[in-house]
């Protein structure tokens, strides 16, 4: 029998992406969809690309009955998430796609997000949702915190290198390029087509992007010492895709070997042959992450490039992968859709 | 047991799209892929978005063994197709995606494509592949001729109106907008990013586009008299998508009723509520076709707008839908993928 | 000595485009820029592409001194314009870029824009700003009403045909494609990059677009009888450009002749050789309008295609051209910038 | 009287961009245009955006009479350039836009471009065309070698820092993003719209891009010791624009000060306030270069970001700026066009 799930915050892009993926999953049934401001509307009116599906009408969260629901995907904005999740019935498993439960340390949360966390007890129990590195904990968790999409990309490129000690931890530079859907469906001048298309620029330059909280937490934990990377994201005139170009000090062949071995058994993480490197075009709409390693002309320096789709592997695909684990389903179920190219 | 299929011309966009769709089909096994100039290469090298799949190496057609193969998708260029298909073993069912077998009349073929047809016997037996209107013939056919992508879009908007006699057959104007992937992966100056992006223009203006051969053949047959539509395609700075804006003389409500009833049971053709109209964004990457009808301020005139993805419903999705019928599989198998938005 | 001008509503795209053009005009000096909500900001902060220019700080309109100013460009929203212009000192010449003074008839204004006009006396004296057809009146006018960008494109394609009586006035269909900058810098969900890019759709289908008020007014006046065209605009995933594909009943060669002769002496309107047709790419960023005529395969039907840049010839370039006339300057001054391609 | 110029290789993008700029220059007359394969065609047929200009018909180079011509812009491909320039009459001043004369050292040329240089005598006398740093030599030169577009961008970000000794020369990483027009109008699969749009990837990863020859030559010369930067370009789905994100070790405030002072008097190089950084959108179609400096959260590290238009300041605009100097004209003549946004 299909597992019953609810999606809170279904009127945003990650909510819609969850519906898209679950549409061909086979063992999940969407029992409820929430969207406070659009309550009462049909999902197919809010997202006409989903109109062929038989979906529940959008509701206010307070009007949803969670009886019989097994798992909730929470695709609400930061801060709202913690309040909502705190109030959910305890029988529900929860996959949160917001930033609210990514940082385990209260002080870190305050530092990067400002203000006190509203659900500190939950914060302590939440499992960080980077599937490949927290698989067992996720399978056993009640609450999983989806990672930042940039944070996921960068960690795929770097985690095995940090844990194996093959790169200089004080010289890591991550120049990241991401599509606009990561910013959500919010009405901001800089997200308008006329402002965003046909050009590119950096943002959050100098180490102010909140996903650095995740990098700091995870890399420092793995390394057993404080690690700070340099991280500069750039906004691209595309809707989907993250490309992280990571500059490290280390032996390129060894870097490639470590990544190849680390991901050898992973269904979604694909390390290319040495010298090859990926394009965001070739993972679009899919749950795959392609990683390449190239040696620089300067000895002892390597460039690691990782590509994934921010809405899929970077967010909703990851969430579904984690939900599969939490519900005892095959991890890849519903996620083997091939990328859409061109 | 899975049906065994081969794809000839797998290095083009329609070939790759077939592989993408078959990847999650479940009951088809790709036994062979051909690409004469790229023979010997891995499909994942030619199309890195398909590298996660376990696929046969590209071969020359002459090197393929068709023993055990049930059906061949032929995604070769016009003219090449007829020669290749003529030479295929007779046990093979064939879905041709080229223009070679779309026109039943020899003279029509000569008029629109120039030169004599090389396989006139086959030409006479080929079934026109517009699934919703030739379903039974397709299920029984050995050779099905995939329609032009523009021809499919225009026919979805118009066929029921022509057959029900609710529009003036002498005043049909179809202004069509299509993405660039319909032109294939060929190296032409006007298909370069620098030439094509950030602007738009008409092409084949004045009634010279070859898909008019299909419109003339089908509409005249249905109407029982010669019917000529005006048809002007425009090239858009997008990769996928066709939007046909069709101007007809007829009662808008009646036009809407006829279309709604005609497609009521169709799994992929979705007629919107009266006054609503579609966007190519909401069918991208899927096999769905959205159709809208709006009444003009001038009485007795209606605008019918149809949207589909040229590579899916307009080409490879249609081909798979037909192949399902020919192999006795459920018609929608492998084709219920939701559109990818944004 | 340079003429002194002010631009009201300088924080929108048409305001910025005026500044861009005036930057190399040579005989205009920008004395004041207004933007109520952004008053106090530097223009180079609101539009960094203009930061190399020495421009006045943005002000509230009420704070501007119009002493010594010769002409005001009013790039304010509809309805606001009429109130502001009514209150301007009478020594000022005014070029309005809004819709407020385009319709001469009070009832027409009410019909298309709703509500009473606030400055009916001015409405009666305003000259319609389609330069090539109102040149003498514009040169003598105090207030010129800039045309709608779509309205300009369609009229360039059709006016000479209507006035020469070479087409059937009851069968005119205009299928228009336009870039997003025409919608301005407003925060609307459908103008977001993630919503707008990679697809296209029609809008204001069925004869509801306000620019029809201009078509009706002008074509009916020229023809001496009521003329209603069918007009369906489509939103394209580009920032600039309008392409109007106009379907008419008439002799194609005669249609081409009439247009060629009508525009033979025009510096900005360029009729291509018979059978050629334009692309928006080739007029982008410029004040040129390219027009092509092709005969359809159906005898007695012609397709007229016109392309211009909505922000330049369709709006701010037109405004500057009119201002040149009003100030006694050469009409083309500051407007001979070549299009930017690619 | 206007100076007479010829453009060799006028059917490429840099050739067309030269024509666009010269169109409003005022003191240059285009006497001849060459395009061997398109000889006999009108420039307006090859580039319809230039059809309003009165231009010479395209000729073969051998058919051009250089009598009366003052200066030649040579926009031919690498290797062809050296042969052609060697054969030009000696009275001609020459601005070469190819890579042929950028490297002064014969061995460097062989290393980066392969094969012997065909005009080594000229190679020794050519002046490197980075205007702001070779102004006097350019004014006195017969032959000026236009820089690589990426090489120009990177040098604007770094030269003053290298010469003032305020950064660690062994830790310079330049992550560069560029539009597709830099690759020219050549027919390559990866330049097709369907291949290039909606995604991004790195290329020439690991220190293999030929523009590194320029960086090595110039930075080593300035520093008085060998300097090797890490340089990874990325291809963006836009037509114009280069954004170089440069990671350096040095005091951010000092880095900003040095750049601000170095460019204080430059008409085209604009250093933003500390902490601000540029977008390619705001220089598009213009000869301006915007530079920003931000301090990283890691002490002693700064990020310098430079943006320019590859076809203008990175190529044809630079060429015209140099030609102005060589002809004794004001350096900025014809180059003050404001960027085109949106």
List, in sequence order, every residue forming a beta bridge with A192; answer none if it has no partner: C192
CA atoms within 13 A on the CB side of C251: 7
pLDDT at C111: 96
Each residue's pLDDT tens digit, D220-244: 999 999 999 999 999 999 999 999 9
pLDDT at C142: 98
Q: Are strands D301-308 and D242-249 parallel, antiparallel or unpaired?
A: antiparallel
* Catalytic residue check, B178: no
Residue B296 to residue C194, Cβ atoms within 8 A: no
Each residue's pLDDT tens digit, C239-261: 999 999 999 999 999 999 999 99
Which residues of chain C make contact with A13, given a CB cutoff of 8 A?
194
Structure tokens at A245: 């170009």
Split at pLDDT 50, 70, 90, the class of A200 is very high
H or E stretch covering C141: none
pLDDT exceeds cutoff 80 at A1: no
The whole-number average pLDDT for the span C302-324 is: 98
Residue D199 to residue A239, Cβ atoms within 8 A: no
pLDDT at A81: 96
Residue C51 dihedral angles phi and psi, to the nearest 5°: -70, -15
Euclidean distance between CA atoms C30 and C38, whole angstroms: 18
pLDDT at A90: 96
Higher pLDDT, D1 or D226: D226
* Domains observed in chain A: 3-125 (3.40.50.720), 149-309 (3.30.360.10)
Structure tokens at A7: 């999606």
Residue D286 to residue C51, Cβ atoms within 8 A: no
Split at pLDDT 50, 70, 90, the class of B7 is very high
Euclidean distance between CA atoms C135 and C141, whole angstroms: 10
pLDDT at C162: 98
Euclidean distance between CA atoms D76 and D55, whole angstroms: 19
pLDDT exceeds cutoff 90 at C1: no
Q: Which of A113-122, A278-287, B317-326, D203-212 has the lowest mean pLDDT?
A: A113-122
Which residues of chain D make contact with B192, given a CB cutoff of 8 A?
180, 185, 187, 191-193
Q: Which one, of D296, D207, D319, D284, lies nearest residue D246 by Cα? A: D296
pLDDT exceeds cutoff 90 at B1: no
pLDDT at D51: 97
Contact status, residue B13 vs residue B184, Cβ threshold 8 Å: yes
pLDDT at C97: 98
Q: How many residues does chain D have?
A: 342
CA atoms within 13 A on the CB side of A314: 30
Each residue's pLDDT tens digit, A164-196: 999 999 999 999 999 999 999 989 999 999 999
Each residue's pLDDT tens digit, D38-72: 999 999 999 999 999 999 999 999 999 999 999 99
The whole-number average pLDDT for the span B22-48 is: 97
Q: Are strands B173-178 and B230-235 parallel, antiparallel or unpaired?
A: parallel
Residue A239 to residue C198, Cβ atoms within 8 A: yes
Tell me which residue in A192, A198, A238 faces C192 most closely, judged by beta carbons: A192
Contact status, residue C83 vs residue C118, Cβ threshold 8 Å: yes
3-state secondary structure of C232: strand
Q: Which one, of D4, D51, D56, D43, lies nearest residue D25 by Cα? A: D4
Label each residue of B79-134 as H, E or C: CHHHHHHHCCCCCCEEEECCCCCCCCCHHHHHHHHCCCCCCHHHHHHCEECCHHHH
Which residues of chain D make contact with C48, given a CB cutoff of 8 A?
278-279, 282, 290
Euclidean distance between CA atoms D213 and D228, whole angstroms: 10
Q: Are strands B269-271 and B289-295 parallel, antiparallel or unpaired?
A: parallel
Buried b (16+ CB within 10 A) or exposed e, B68-98: ebbbbbbbbeebbbbebbeebeeebbbbbbb
DSSP code for D129 = -
Contacts 24+ apart (CB under 8 A), B118-125: B118/B79, B118/B82, B118/B83, B118/B86, B119/B82, B119/B83, B119/B85, B119/B86, B122/B82, B122/B85, B122/B86, B123/B82
Residue A200 to residue D232, Cβ atoms within 8 A: no
Task: Report CA A173 to chain centroid distance, whole Å.
Answer: 20
Which residues of chain C make contact with A193, given a CB cutoff of 8 A?
180, 191-193, 195-197, 237, 239
Residue D282 to residue C338, Cβ atoms within 8 A: no
3-state secondary structure of D171: coil
Split at pLDDT 50, 70, 90, the class of D205 is very high
Instruction: Calculate how close chain B gets to D192, using CA atoms only, in Å.
Output: 4
Structure tokens at A258: 């470590």
pLDDT at A27: 98
Q: What's the whole-number average pLDDT of chain C?
A: 97
pLDDT at A203: 98
Each residue's pLDDT tens digit, A218-253: 999 999 999 999 999 999 999 999 999 999 999 999
CA distances from A286 to A269, A341, B30, C128, C166 (A): 12, 11, 21, 53, 55
Interface with D, mutate which of A112, A169, A174, A175 (most D CBs under 10 A): A175
Residue C338 to residue D279, Cβ atoms within 8 A: no
pLDDT at A315: 98
The whole-number average pLDDT for the span D129-148 is: 98
pLDDT at C218: 98
Which residues of chain A make contact with D342, given a CB cutoff of 8 A?
194-195, 197-198
pLDDT at B238: 97
pLDDT exceeds cutoff 80 at A256: yes
Place of tokens 């090298």: B45
Split at pLDDT 50, 70, 90, the class of D313 is very high
Percent of chain B at pLDDT > 70 equals: 100
Residues 6+ apart with CB under 8 A from A32: A6, A7, A56, A59, A64, A65, A66, A69
Each residue's pLDDT tens digit, C194-221: 999 999 999 999 999 999 999 999 999 9
Tell me which residue in A195, A277, A279 faces D342 most closely, judged by beta carbons: A195
Residue A340 to residue B47, Cβ atoms within 8 A: no
Instruction: Calculate how close chain B gets to C195, using CA atoms only, in Å.
Output: 6
The whole-number average pLDDT for the span D206-223 is: 98
Q: Which one, of A237, A190, A236, lies nearest residue C185 by Cα? A: A190
Buried b (16+ CB within 10 A) or exposed e, C245-274: bbbbbbbbeebbbbbbebbeeebbbbbbeb
pLDDT at C277: 98
Which residues of chain D make contact with A305, given a CB cutoff of 8 A?
202, 205
pLDDT at A209: 97
Instruction: Calculate how close chain D gets to B133, using CA atoms only, in Å.
Output: 31
Interface with A, mutate which of C182, C193, C340 (most A CBs under 10 A): C193
Which residues of chain B make contact with C297, given a CB cutoff of 8 A?
206-208, 212, 228
| Interface residues on C facing A, Cβ-Cβ cutoff 8 A | 13, 180-181, 185, 187-189, 191-198, 237-239
Each residue's pLDDT tens digit, C55-90: 999 999 999 999 999 999 999 999 999 999 999 999
| Interface residues on A facing B, Cβ-Cβ cutoff 8 A | 13, 16, 19-20, 23-24, 47-53, 181, 198, 239-240, 270, 278-279, 281-286, 288, 290, 336-342
Euclidean distance between CA atoms B35 and D335, whole angstroms: 50
Structure tokens at A166: 């093959």
Task: Report CA C23 to chain centroid distance, whole Å.
Answer: 20
Beta strands in chain B (DSSP E): 3-8, 28-34, 58-59, 71-74, 93-96, 127-128, 143-145, 173-178, 201-202, 230-235, 242-249, 269-271, 289-295, 301-308
pLDDT at D2: 93
Place of tokens 């939900």: A323
Residues 6+ apart with CB under 8 A from B248: B158, B161, B167, B168, B171, B172, B255, B301, B302, B303, B304
pLDDT exceeds cutoff 90 at D217: yes
H or E stretch covering B216: helix B211-223
Residue B177 to residue C234, Cβ atoms within 8 A: yes
Name the residues of A annotated as catalytic.
149
pLDDT at D79: 92
Structure tokens at A326: 């939490």
Residue D194 to residue B181, Cβ atoms within 8 A: yes
H or E stretch covering A243: strand A242-249
Which residues of chain C make contact with A238, given a CB cutoff of 8 A?
197
Tell me which residue in B202, B275, B292 faces C245 most closely, judged by beta carbons: B202
Residue A239 to residue C189, Cβ atoms within 8 A: no
Instruction: Calculate how close chain D gets to B239, using CA atoms only, in Å.
Output: 5
Beta strands in D125-216 (DSSP E): 127-128, 143-145, 173-178, 201-202
pLDDT at D19: 98
Each residue's pLDDT tens digit, B128-185: 999 999 999 999 999 999 999 999 999 999 999 999 999 999 999 999 999 999 999 9
CA distances from C167 to C130, C159, C164, C215 (A): 21, 11, 8, 16
Split at pLDDT 50, 70, 90, the class of A39 is very high
Each residue's pLDDT tens digit, D61-104: 999 999 999 999 999 999 999 999 999 999 999 999 999 999 99
pLDDT at B206: 96
């Amino acid at each position: 029998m299909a597992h019953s799930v609810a999606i809170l915050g279904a009127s945003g892009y990650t909510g819609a992406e969850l519906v898209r993926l679950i549409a061909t999953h086979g063992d999940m049934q969407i029992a409820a969809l929430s969207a406070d401001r659009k309550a009462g509307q049909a999902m197919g009116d809010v997202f006409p690309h989903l109109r062929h599906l038989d979906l529940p009408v959008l509701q206010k969260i307070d009007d949803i009955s969670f009886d019989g629901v097994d798992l909730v995907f929470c695709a609400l904005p930061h801060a709202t998430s913690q309040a909502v999740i705190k109030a959910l019935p305890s029988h529900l498993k929860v996959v949160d796609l917001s930033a609210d439960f990514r940082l385990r340390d209260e002080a870190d949360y305050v530092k990067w997000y400002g203000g006190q966390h509203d659900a500190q007890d939950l914060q302590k129990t939440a499992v960080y949702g980077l599937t490949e590195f927290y698989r067992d904990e996720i399978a056993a968790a009640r609450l999983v915190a989806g990672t930042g999409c940039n944070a996921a990309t960068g960690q795929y490129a770097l985690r095995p290198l940090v844990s194996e000690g093959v790169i200089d931890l004080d010289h890591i530079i991550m120049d990241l390029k991401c599509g606009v859907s990561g910013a959500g469906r919010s009405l901001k001048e800089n997200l308008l087509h006329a402002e965003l298309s046909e050009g590119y620029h950096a943002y959050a330059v100098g180490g102010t992007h909140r996903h650095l909280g995740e990098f700091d937490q995870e890399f420092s934990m793995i390394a057993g010492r404080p690690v700070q990377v340099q991280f500069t994201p750039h906004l691209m005139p595309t809707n989907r895709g993250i490309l992280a170009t990571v500059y490290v000090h280390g032996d390129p062949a060894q870097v490639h070997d470590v990544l190849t071995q680390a991901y050898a058994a992973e269904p979604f993480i694909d390390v290319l042959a040495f010298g090859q490197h990926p394009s965001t075009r070739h993972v679009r709409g899919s749950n795959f992450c392609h990683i390449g390693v190239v040696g620089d002309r300067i000895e002892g320096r390597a460039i690691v490039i990782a590509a994934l789709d921010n809405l899929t592997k970077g967010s909703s695909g990851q969430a579904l992968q984690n939900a599969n684990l939490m519900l005892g389903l095959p991890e890849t179920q519903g996620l083997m859709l091939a990328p859409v190219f061109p």
